[in-house]
Each structure stands twice: as C-alpha cells, then as structure tokens.
C-alpha cells in the first residue's frame, strides 16, 4: 500500500474516531436533558432542575470538545481528500453545507442561551432553548449520516463531462433509504451512550452515598432510556441496517460475518477467529442457519460468501471488520441484558439498594463508546475498497499533492493535540462529577 494513502487514511480515521467520542454524548444527552427539564417544569421540582443543570454543564464541556475536534473533519475533505472532493463535492457539499447552515447556526446560537441564559429567559423560554439545542444536534447528525449514506449507497447523481459527479435529485440525496436506517441506528446508539453515562454517574453517587436524590434520578432516567434504545438498536434499526447491507453490499456482509464460502442455510458465527489466508474460521461457535434467517427471513436461504466475489472487491481488512462488527453486536446484546435486569429491579423498587447492579452500571461507562466506535469502523471498513461505493476507490481519492511527510507531520500534530485535549476533558468532567449537581453539599444533608 502506498504510504501516503495509508497515512491519509489513518489521519482521517484517527481524527474522526476521536471526534465521535464527543458528539455521541452530545446527541445522546440532549433529549435526556429535555426530559429532565420537562419533569422539572411539570412538577416544579428543584432537584430535577439541579439535575438538568448538572448535565447541561457536562454537555457544555462535551459540546466544546465536539466542536473543536469537528472543524478539522470538514477541513480534511479538502486538505487530505481533495481528489475525492473534486469528484463528489458537487453532491456531498450539499449535505455538509446544509449542516453548517441549518444545524450549526441553530445549535450554537441556542447553546449560549441554554448554558448562560437561564436567568435571562423565562423557565419556558429556557426549556425551548434546550429543545433547540436538541434539534440542532440531531439535525447535524442527519446531514452527516446523509453524507456517509451517499458514500455507502450513491443516489441522485449524474456524471458530468469532466468526470465529476453532480446532483441530479436533491430529494433522492436527502431521502436516501440507506440514510434512514443508518440515522435511526446511529441516533439510537447515541442515546444509549447518553443513557449509560447518566446511569453510571447516578450509580456512582449512590455507591458513594452523596447526592443520592440526584443519583436516583440519573439511574432511573438512564436505565429506562437505556432499555428502550438498546432494544431499538437491535430491532428494527440494526436489523434494517443489516438488510440494507445485504441488499446493496453483499460482499461487505460476507466479510463482516467472515462467510468465506456461500451456502444455503448459512450459520451465524458468534465467536471465532477469521483465518483469511486459509479462508476459514478458527474455533467457531455458531448458530446453524441463523444468518440465512436474519438476512432473508428463511432458514434455508442462500447467502453469498466471499467466494462469489473477485478478491479485488473484498474489503481489505476482513479480520478487523469482522471483529468490529462482532464487538458491536456483542456489546449491544449485553446492554439489553443489563437494562432488562436494571429496569426489572427498578420496577420492584430494589434497584437503588442493589449494590451489585449499581456496580455493573458504573462499570458499563466505557462500553457504549466502544460499541459506537466499533459500529462506525464496521460501516467504514465495510465500504472498502470504495470511497464512494462502486464509483471511486479509496486509493484514488486522497490529496496527491500532499506528500507522506506532510501527512505524517500533521498526523503527529493531531496525536499530540488530542492527547492534551483528552486529558483536559477527563480532568474537567471528573471535577464536575465530584462537585456534584447541588451547589453546596452541606445544604444537601
């Protein structure tokens, strides 16, 4: 592999992976904060107000890091992927510009009011500011997903005389069926992150024995939202997304499942290590015929294996793709199990005293981040070797004028910068959590 190409790929992969740690919490917390504020207003309950304010503070820090790491993403389309931008900018420029014009203006204008304007606005006005921030962040998510969905499943384009792609149908681009499933699946994943983070902090307070009134609210809202969205994550959104891949990218599905040989009644591999050289799975644990059923709703259906496709159409990193996909699905299943038990305990009014369950919720904190990241790696590695599926190969899209040495220089710069940002973020959030949702601890007890 040409080293400049590899460096440009790592450059984008690293910066987008780091970036997405923040927006998933922004988008996941936003609706939960609206819920907290709604309850606070309805019941005129100061504890809920404090809970909403506490999460607004975390949201504010998180949002800042999301914005700062997000600007480089837009720039990199031009700086590192200029041949791709020239080829496809006439189309994805639409969705990216719309994100700036519709979502970012809304979000940034109301975030200021939401974070610093509670005393200037009426309670209802402040609630609307929270809703506007929620809408802005979710709109932003849609435009990005629509951009990625177009790269996965290009629609609404024509080829122009100079070889570039140009828009032929705005609505096909914006209403890409791929975008619909991907958006639902992605946003549900973001709410799972928000819910688990909220429940985890709540569990921490309950185990610590401080801010217990707030901790109970966090755990309650977190596990209920966590249950609803971890179920939605599997069905219908995950299922719909999977069948979208089966229909449009069958070679990707085969690689995700490491199905080297096509067969009717294909098994679903739960655990096992793909051995790409020998084209088999080592140490497989599998459910017979399950893959055929999940994909085509028929136990005996034929599923195409990698052997049906020429190897130059295979995703290049089959092992990483396979593991990312299996980690995502495995964690998603575990989230459902945890949330079912937690909600059951909540219903029996035993959750707040069940220390073992609180420990599980506390320690669950990093896993939704891992699951969401693994999901995105699955989507993006699965698209390979294409940058725009079927139309442009990744190897043809990077900036040929930017040498490997320059790409390495800025990659190292980002590694250093993001290390500092990561440390600052953890330091600040840890401080806010220790400070807690109530201004004075003495007033609490």
Partner 1 sequence: METLWFMIVAAMVAAYVVLDGFDLGAGAIYLGVARTSDDRRRILRAIGPVWDGNEVWLVAAGGTLYFAFPLLYASSFSGFYLPLMMVLWLLMLRGIGIELRAHVENPVWAGFFDLIFCVSSILLAIFFGAALGNVVRGVPLGPDGYFFEPLWTNFRASGTTGILDWYTVLTGVIALVTLVAHGSLYIAVKTEGELNRRTRAVALWAWPLQLVLTIVGLLASGYVQPIALDNYKHHAIGFLIPVIVFGSLGVMIYAIRKGEDKMAFVGSALYIVGMLVGAAFALYPLVLPASTNPAYSLSISNTAAGRHGLTVGFTWWIIALVLALGYFTFLFRMFRGKVRLEGEGY
The answer to whether residue 112 forms part of the interface with partner 1 (CB under 8 A) is yes
Using the contact rule CB under 8 A, the part of the chain among 17-25, 228-236, 305-313, 417-425 near partner 1 is: 417-425
The correct pick among 42, 120, 124, 348 for binding partner 1 (CB under 8 A) is 120
Which residues partner with 268 through β-bridges?
287
The answer to whether residue 110 forms part of the interface with partner 1 (CB under 8 A) is yes
Token pair, residue 358, equals: 């609180």
The correct pick among 27, 29, 111, 338 for binding partner 1 (CB under 8 A) is 111
From CA 127, how far away is CA 46, in angstroms rounded? 15
The correct pick among 24, 69, 182, 249 for binding partner 1 (CB under 8 A) is 69
Nearest to 138 by CA among 190, 61, 176: 190
The correct pick among 3, 43, 46, 168 for binding partner 1 (CB under 8 A) is 168
The correct pick among 38, 316, 333, 406 for binding partner 1 (CB under 8 A) is 406
- Helices and strands of the chain, counted as H and E runs: 17, 8
Residue 221 CB contacts under 8 Å (≥ 6 apart), including other chains: 32, 35, 36, 195, 198, 199
Residue 262's φ and ψ, nearest 5 degrees, are -65, 145
The answer to whether residue 155 forms part of the interface with partner 1 (CB under 8 A) is no
CA torsion through residues 335, 422, 382, 188, sign? positive
Residue 103's φ and ψ, nearest 5 degrees, are -85, -50
Measured from the CB atom, the residue of 230 and 410 that comes closer to partner 1 is 410
Nearest to 445 by CA among 216, 211, 214: 211
From CA 385, how far away is CA 383, in angstroms rounded? 6
Using the contact rule CB under 8 A, the part of the chain among 162-170, 237-245, 249-257, 329-337 near partner 1 is: 162-170
Measured from the CB atom, the residue of 118 and 257 that comes closer to partner 1 is 118
Total site size for partner 1, rule CB under 8 A: 67
The correct pick among 2, 46, 170, 423 for binding partner 1 (CB under 8 A) is 170
The correct pick among 13, 34, 67, 391 for binding partner 1 (CB under 8 A) is 67
The correct pick among 13, 34, 35, 167 for binding partner 1 (CB under 8 A) is 167
The answer to whether residue 337 forms part of the interface with partner 1 (CB under 8 A) is no
Query: 268-275 and 280-287 as β-strands: parallel, antiparallel, unpaired?
Result: antiparallel
The answer to whether residue 400 forms part of the interface with partner 1 (CB under 8 A) is yes
CA distances (Å), origin 331, targets 16, 208, 220, 347, 374 = 21, 27, 21, 24, 10
Which residues partner with 271 through β-bridges?
285
**Interface residue list for partner 1 (CB under 8 A):** 61, 64, 67-69, 71-72, 74-75, 77-80, 82-83, 85-86, 88-91, 93-94, 96-102, 104-106, 108-113, 115-121, 158, 160, 164, 166-168, 170, 399-403, 406, 409-410, 413, 417, 421, 424, 428, 431
């Amino acid at each position: 592999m040409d080293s400049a190409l590899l460096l440009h790929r790592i450059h984008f992969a690293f910066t987008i992976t780091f970036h997405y740690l923040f927006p998933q919490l922004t988008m996941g917390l936003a609706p939960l904060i609206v819920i907290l504020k709604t309850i606070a207003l309805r019941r005129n309950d100061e504890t809920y107000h404090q809970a909403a304010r506490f999460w607004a503070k975390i949201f504010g820090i998180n949002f800042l890091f999301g914005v700062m790491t997000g600007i480089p993403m837009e720039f990199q389309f031009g700086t590192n992927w200029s041949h791709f931008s020239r080829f496809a900018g006439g189309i994805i420029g639409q969705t990216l510009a719309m994100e700036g014009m519709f979502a970012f203006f809304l979000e940034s204008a109301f975030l200021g009011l939401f974070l610093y304007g509670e005393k200037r606005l009426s309670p209802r006005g402040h609630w609307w500011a929270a809703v506007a921030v929620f809408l802005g962040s979710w709109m932003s998510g849609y435009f990005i997903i629509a951009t990625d969905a177009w790269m996965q499943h290009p629609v609404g384009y024509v080829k122009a005389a100079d070889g570039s792609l140009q828009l032929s149908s705005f609505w096909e681009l914006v209403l890409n069926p791929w975008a619909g499933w991907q958006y639902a699946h992605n946003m549900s994943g973001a709410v799972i992150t928000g819910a688990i983070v909220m429940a985890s902090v709540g569990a921490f307070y309950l185990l610590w024995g401080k801010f217990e009134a707030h901790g109970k609210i966090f755990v309650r809202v977190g596990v209920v939202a966590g249950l609803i969205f971890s179920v939605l994550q599997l069905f219908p959104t995950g299922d719909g997304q999977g069948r979208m891949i089966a229909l449009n990218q069958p070679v990707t599905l085969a690689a995700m499942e490491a199905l080297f040989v096509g067969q009717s009644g294909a098994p679903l591999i739960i655990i096992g290590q793909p051995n790409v050289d020998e084209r088999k799975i080592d140490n497989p644990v599998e459910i017979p015929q399950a893959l055929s059923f999940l994909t085509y709703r028929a136990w005996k259906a034929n599923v195409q294996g990698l052997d049906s496709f020429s190897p130059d159409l295979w995703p290049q990193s089959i092992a990483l793709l396979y593991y990312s996909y299996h980690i995502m699905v495995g964690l998603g299943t575990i989230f459902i199990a945890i949330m079912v038990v937690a909600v059951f305990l909540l219903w029996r009014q035993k959750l707040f005293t069940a220390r073992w369950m609180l420990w599980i919720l506390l320690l669950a904190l990093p896993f939704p981040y891992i699951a969401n990241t693994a999901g995105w790696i699955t989507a993006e590695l699965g698209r390979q070797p294409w940058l725009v599926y079927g139309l442009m190969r990744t190897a043809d899209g990077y900036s040929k004028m930017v040498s490997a040495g320059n790409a390495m220089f800025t990659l190292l710069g980002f590694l250093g910068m993001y290390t500092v940002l990561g440390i600052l973020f953890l330091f600040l959030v840890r401080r806010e959590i220790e400070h807690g949702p109530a201004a004075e601890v003495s007033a609490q007890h």
